[in-house]
């Protein structure tokens, strides 16, 4: 039996429970519904505030809050399937935790660079310069092992994770006539 989570979300007349899924901790925990508020407006739920407290240190975690049918959540097969579908959707399996961790590291490094350049409002003096190239030696090894050429690998720049990239994309799109 496979449970369609989309179908479960549409059931309004049954007893519901909130589930807080944390990407950083790879956990899911129950949060009681506060009956004073509609199910989709639980942001003032005091139980939710308590559950979120432990996911704020050392920095705020990423996750999702959703509601499910109480009976399905309390069944073994239902809980296992919900765990698998939700945690996989949060990046637990997806491209692999290493990919998401690398992207987060590049984004943090790009923001440091952005601060060093005093948060430029236009073009950055270092934008896509040689010092901002991200070298991917692991990709070369994997391509060689697979019998593929490693000569023309895509170029990655730290700038691809920086807010200045959006300025350059808007400028490029405007030049191509994509904005009216």
Q: Could you list the residue range(s) of the whole structural domain that residue 55 is in?
A: 5-92
At 104 the pLDDT is 84
Q: In the chain, pLDDT over 90 holds for what percent of residues?
A: 4
Do 83 and 141 lie in one domain? The reply is no
pLDDT of residue 21: 86
- Give the pLDDT mean for 10-20: 72
Asked whether residue 80 falls in the same domain as residue 48, the answer is: yes
- Asked whether residue 180 is assigned to any structural domain, the reply reads no
DSSP state of 160: G
Q: Residues of 42-66 as b/e, b for ≥16 C-beta within 10 angstroms?
A: beebeebeebbeebeeeeebebeeb
Using the 8-state DSSP alphabet, how is residue 22 labeled? E
* Span 40-92, pLDDT tens digits: 788 888 888 888 888 877 778 888 888 888 888 888 888 888 888 777 766 55
**Residue 77, exposed/middle/buried by CB under 10 A (0-12, 13-18, 19+)?**
exposed
Same domain flag for 127 and 85? no
99 assigned to some structural domain: no
Q: Are residues 66 and 114 in the same domain?
A: no
Mean pLDDT for the stretch of residues 5-23: 69
CB of 86 closer than 8 Å to CB of 64: yes
Average pLDDT over the chain reads 79
């Amino acid at each position: 039996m496979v449970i369609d989570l989309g179908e479960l979300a549409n059931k309004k007349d049954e007893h519901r429970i909130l589930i807080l899924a944390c990407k950083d901790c790879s956990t899911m925990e129950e949060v009681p519904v506060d009956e004073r508020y509609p199910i989709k407006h639980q942001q003032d739920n005091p139980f939710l505030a308590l559950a979120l407290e432990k996911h704020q240190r050392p920095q705020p975690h990423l996750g999702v809050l959703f509601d499910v049918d109480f009976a399905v959540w309390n069944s073994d097969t239902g809980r296992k399937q919900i765990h698998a579908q939700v945690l996989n959707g949060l990046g637990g399996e997806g491209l692999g935790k290493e990919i998401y961790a690398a992207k987060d590291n590049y984004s943090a490094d790009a923001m440091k660079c952005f601060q060093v350049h005093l948060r430029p409002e236009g073009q950055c003096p270092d934008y896509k310069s040689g010092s901002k190239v991200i070298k991917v030696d692991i990709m070369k090894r994997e391509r060689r092992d697979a019998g593929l050429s490693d000569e023309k690998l895509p170029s990655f720049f730290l700038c691809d994770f920086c807010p200045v990239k959006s300025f350059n994309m808007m400028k490029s799109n405007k030049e191509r006539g994509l904005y009216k």
